[in-house]
Amino acid sequence: MAFHGFGTKAGLICAVALVGCNKSEPASDLIARQKADAVGEQITYLETRLSAVERSPETLSLADSGYSVVETDIGRLTVEWLKSEKLGAGSRLTFKIGNPTTATITRAQASLLLKDAAGKPLGKIARPAFNGDIKSGTWNTVTVAINDYAPDRIAKIDVLGLYVENITLFTR
């Protein structure tokens, strides 16, 4: 439908102006408020998700006995650093992981920050894979291969995250 002539355009402008003079909230303000409310809800949702992701790292040390609790997507796991061994120009780090969940983790990775004895960061290791399954309801010994950092340089490890990629569940 096309509008022709000045009178039709002027009438249309007057009609729009009258709608804007209405004492109730203009439609554009209502839409803007609804959009702002929706954005506020999205921000609240994202803040909740981010707080679940932003956890303080657990610091592991060979000198410490016992384990630390690390959150994952499927629940809490307990982690203890058992030993470091030379592996080429790097290290093999051995961990004991307790898995109190009912899922066997068949593939997992970690994000680690290696530190020296003074607590100075040596380097961040992004997602090295554990070498074996982490069975449910038990303690598991797993290793991670790290390049470029000899075991005698690593005194502490911050576990920034454990990432579960695959699980299996017991079936009858």
pTM confidence score: 0.66
Average of per-residue pLDDT across 83-103: 95
Helices (H), ranges, the chain: 6-21, 27-53
Q: What is the torsion angle, in degrees rounded to the nearest 10, for the CA atoms of residue 153, residue 154, residue 155 and residue 159?
A: 160
The percentage of residues in the chain with a pLDDT greater than 90, rounded to a whole number, is 52
- What are the b/e assignments for 90-118, b being 16+ CB within 10 Å? bbbbbbebbbebebbbeebbbbbbbbeee
Average of per-residue pLDDT across 37-64: 75
So what's the pLDDT on residue 109?
Answer: 92
Please determine, for residue 12, whether its predicted confidence score (pLDDT) is greater than 50: no
With bands split at pLDDT 50, 70 and 90, how would you rate the model's confidence at 150? very high
Please determine, for residue 65, whether its predicted confidence score (pLDDT) is greater than 70: yes
Please determine, for residue 99, whether its predicted confidence score (pLDDT) is greater than 60: yes
Please determine, for residue 44, whether its predicted confidence score (pLDDT) is greater than 80: no
Each residue's pLDDT tens digit, 111-136:
999 999 999 999 999 889 999 899 99
Average of per-residue pLDDT across 76-99: 95
Residue recorded with tokens 């291969």:
145
Average of per-residue pLDDT across 23-29: 72
Structure-model confidence comparison of residues 156 and 53, the more confident one: 156
With bands split at pLDDT 50, 70 and 90, how would you rate the model's confidence at 154? very high
